[in-house]
Amino acid sequence: MGKIISLVNQKGGVGKTTTSINLSASLAVLGKKVLLIDLDPQGNTTTGVGINKGEIERSIYNVLIGECKITEATIKTKYKDFYIVPSSINMAGLGTELLEKSRSEAGFNYSEQLKNSLVDIKDTFDFIIIDCPPSLDFIITNALVASNSVIIPVQCEFFALEGITQLLRTIMLAQKSLNPTLDIEGVLLTMYDARTNLGLEVVEDIRKFFKEKVYNTIIPRLVRLTEAPSHGEPIIAYDPKSRGSEAYLNLAKEVIERNGK
């Protein structure tokens, strides 16, 4: 059974994209077959795995609007067992288009588009990782309806828990009305800076709040992790021996373990 995991947090800059790229690449290195789906109109995940946005013929936009199957938008990355469905800038206008469609076409449910597109392929992958944009709109609804679980990246900073109540409410609403089996897979602490005491306090606060949901692995703040995407490479390819590689490999191992895979 393929496991579908979304990276969600309506806050921007908490490490969703960085984690989606590097967790996916690490899972693939550990022998899992992985599909990464980029739902963010900005497409940073897409370029971060070495795909030139100018050369994309079909993106997740075409899939969600119903113009093609997800297999037709899937691209193999340079890396073994690692595939991606790229994003494109027209994702930004998708909401209005989907709303129109659901008004004019009977039986068209805009929040189930992603889920439906995955039905045929989900068991051909071990993991499907979905990178979400920083919002709580219909794109997130599509992701929450399609997913088995969510990983919430939380940046180790003073206002780390700000907005979390709202995010948890969105997840609970999705569980109630759309996807009763949706689970919180885990909470990931990102951009930890050992040079400040603040980081440690935040780690304690978040562990108190989310308890055993918090991964043991903490992603440190590292310049190498910001450099890698500009070379179109996951950290494990860009600098395999780095601390960033080690951290994301450890996270991937924890994810595999929690899923008994």
Ligand X SMILES: Nc1ncnc2c1ncn2[C@@H]1O[C@H](COP(=O)(O)OP(=O)(O)O)[C@@H](O)[C@H]1O
State the minimum distance, in angstroms, from the CB of residue 186 to ligand X. 16
The one among 16, 32, 122, 221 contacting Mg ion by CB under 5 A:
16
Choose the contact partner of 225 out of ligand X, Mg ion, none; CB within 5 to 8 A by kind: ligand X
State the minimum distance, in angstroms, from the CB of residue 122 to Mg ion. 23
CA distance 214 to 224: 24
The two structure tokens encoding residue 64: 């969600």
Tell whether residue 17 is a contact of Mg ion (CB under 5 A).
yes
Instruction: Select 18 or 170, whichever has its Cβ closest to ligand X.
Output: 18
Instruction: Select 110 or 190, whichever has its Cβ closest to ligand X.
Output: 190
Q: Are 54 and 27 in contact (CB under 8 A)?
A: no
Instruction: Select 110 or 139, whichever has its Cβ closest to ligand X.
Output: 139
Radius of gyration of the chain (CA): 17
Q: Where are the beta strands (DSSP E) in 156-259?
A: 183-192, 214-220
Instruction: Select 29 or 39, whichever has its Cβ closest to ligand X.
Output: 39
State the minimum distance, in angstroms, from the CB of residue 247 to ligand X. 8
State the minimum distance, in angstroms, from the CB of residue 230 to Mg ion. 15
- Stretch 183-242 residues interacting with ligand X (CB under 6 A): 190-191, 219, 221-222, 225-226
Site stretch for ligand X (CB under 6 A), options 12-20, 96-104, 108-116, 117-125: 12-20
Q: Using alpha carbons only, what angle is made at residue 10 by residues 72 and 219, rounded to the nearest 5 degrees?
A: 85
Q: Where are the beta strands (DSSP E) in 39-135?
A: 75-76, 82-85, 127-131
Q: Are 64 and 101 in contact (CB under 8 A)?
A: no
Distance of CA 70 to the CA centre of its chain: 17
Please tell me the total number of residues recorded for the chain in this structure: 261
Phi, psi of 75 (to 5 degrees): -120, 140
Q: Which residues bind ligand X (CB under 6 A)?
A: 12-18, 44, 134, 190-191, 219, 221-222, 225-226
Q: Which residues bind Mg ion (CB under 5 A)?
A: 16-17
